[in-house]
Amino acid sequence: MSKETIKAKAKLVIVDDIDTDQIFHQSLLTIHDPNEIKPHIFGNLEGYKSFGKEDNVGKILLVGKNFGKGSTRQQAVTGFIAHGITAIVGESFGPIYYSNSVNSGLLLVEVPGISEFKVKEDDNLEIDITQSLIINQNNGETIKCVKIPQPVLDIIEAGGLLKLGEIM
């Protein structure tokens, strides 16, 4: 991943208040292998239950408000990494989900007012980390995102928090 920009196609799951139980259901908690987690992602989210079987490798996932609220479960992050999702962009995230993602090396980008951003499935998006901007290359729309804090970029750059722990 380049540090300055990320370019990828958009995958839309614009639903507010998606709970971790809708991402990865509690009945599956004894599953920990990323490849086994993968097919169950959004398995309890009406309208998106086929997500687990789709190919969304390399895409940027667009979500709504309070994404990942609910339980502390790491699998709700691991599953998107297994799918090869590059980053998740949303209006806001559950605080535990935010740290779980960063710790696993998955970038989350907060965008206040994301519902105003005109984007269609598979539009080509660019996240400009330096300028804190998201650009839709298909229609030229841009929107400001919250500046990604440096420690977050450092953890992601290190390959996740556990790597940092080796030297602490």
Partner 1 sequence: MTSFTLIEKIIRNRTDVSDSEIYPNNIVWVNLDLVTARDYAGPQVIDLFQKNYIGSKTFNNEKVIFTPDCYPYGNDPKHAKDQEKIRVFAKEHGIKVTDLGSGIGSHLLFRRGFSKPGDVVIGADSHYNILGALGILGQGAGDVMLAFALKTGKSWIKIPETVKIILKGDYEWPTTAKDLALYVLKELHEYGITGKAVEFYGAIIDKLSIEERVTLCSLITEASGVIGFVPADKITADYYSKIGIEIEMLSADEDARYISELVLDIQDLGQYIACPPHPHNVKKIEEVMGTPINSIVIGSCTNGSSADIHDAAKILKGHKINPNVRFGIVPATREDFVSINLNGDMTIILESGGNFFGVGCSTCAKGQYGLTGGETAVTLTTGNRNTQGKIGPADVYLASPVVAAATAIEGKIAAPKEVVKR
Interface positions with partner 1 (CB under 8 A): 17, 19, 21-22, 25-30, 32, 44, 46, 65-66, 69-74, 77, 92-96, 98-100, 103-104, 149, 151-152, 155, 160-162, 164-166, 168
Q: Which is nearer to partner 1, 66 or 138 (CB)?
A: 66
- Partner residues linked to 67 by β-bridges: 93
Distance from chain centroid for Cα 165? 23
Which is closer to partner 1, CB of 141 or CB of 153? Answer: 153
- Rank residues 140 and 165 by Cβ distance to partner 1 and give the closer one: 165
**Count of CB atoms within 10 A of residue 133's CB?**
15
Taking the least distance from each CB to partner 1, the nearer of 5 and 103 is: 103
* φ, ψ for residue 50, nearest 5 deg: -85, -5
The encoded tokens of residue 28 equal 């599956």
CB 112, min distance to partner 1, A: 11
What are the C-alpha distances in Å from 136 to residues 3, 30, 39, 125? Answer: 19, 39, 29, 5
Q: How far is the CB of 153 from partner 1 (least distance, A)?
A: 11
